[in-house]
Amino acid sequence: QSALTQPPSASGSPGQSVTISCTGTSSDVGGYNYVSWYQQHPGKAPQLIIYEVSKRPSGVPDRFSGSKSGNTASLTVSGLHTEDEADYYCSSYAGSNNRVFGTGTKVTVL
Amino acid sequence: QVQLVESGGGVVQPGRSLRLSCAASGFTFSSYAMHWVRQAPGKGLEWVAVISYDGSNKYYADSVKGRFTISRDNSKNTLYLQMNSLRAEDTAVYYCASQEGYRSRPGLSHLDYWGQGTLVTVSS
């Protein structure tokens, strides 16, 4: 049950794009299409923004997109808005009814 | 609308016990698996435990196995986390969250709704 690996930080100017990676193993990210992404603003609860690798819940802007290749999933935020400044966490099914989260990435809008 | 409200957090000495509750409303609680996820101060999210929609199956992170027990009372729309033998490293905000999917396999799909969290501090 090791945490998935994410870069500690990422940044971009308003209107630019930022991509966050989430690296696991064939036992979690690589083995299942049950990768999800969560956005967390300071002092708030996490909020789902991507599920099943690339699907967006209703109400989530289409500037958020997800993908996966092998054992690495990615979240791209296109056309950065100031309100996108937050922490982002990936999560994956890890087999045996377990879930695992990523280490988290702080996105800064310059 | 869906609401999840945690309670029961507080300051507790190492080795003691605490029980958290999560009151659910706005959805058919008895049809969905439920999770506990925690976040130590300034740290990332850590999955703690999941329970199936009917309470018959429970799964835990290795870090809490044998010390924590997840349970639910579907007649009261409430989720619980009994925490025993608490350690300093259990200090965290504890969130309850619902899993998407009617009677879905525990742990499989994403967590679609989260509570606001309750803080547990383990300190002498």
Q: What is the pLDDT of residues A19-28, one digit of tens each?
A: 999 999 999 9
Cβ proximity of B66 and B82 under 8 Å? no
Say what the pLDDT of residue A1 is.
73
Closest alpha carbon to A20 in A34, A31, A6, A33:
A6
Do A46 and B114 make contact, defined as CB atoms within 8 angstroms? yes
CB A101, CB A90: distance < 8 Å: yes
Task: Tell me the C-alpha to C-alpha distance, in Å, between residue B48 and each of A101, B81, B95.
Answer: 11, 10, 10
Q: Where is A100: in which H helix or E strand?
A: strand A99-101
Asked if A94 contacts A100 with a C-beta cutoff of 8 angstroms, the reply is yes
- Tens of pLDDT, residue by residue over B65-105, are 999 999 999 999 999 999 999 999 999 999 999 999 888 88
Distance of CA B4 to the CA centre of its chain: 11
CA distance B15 to chain A (A): 24
What residues 4-33 of chain A have any CB closer than 8 A to a CB of chain B?
Answer: none
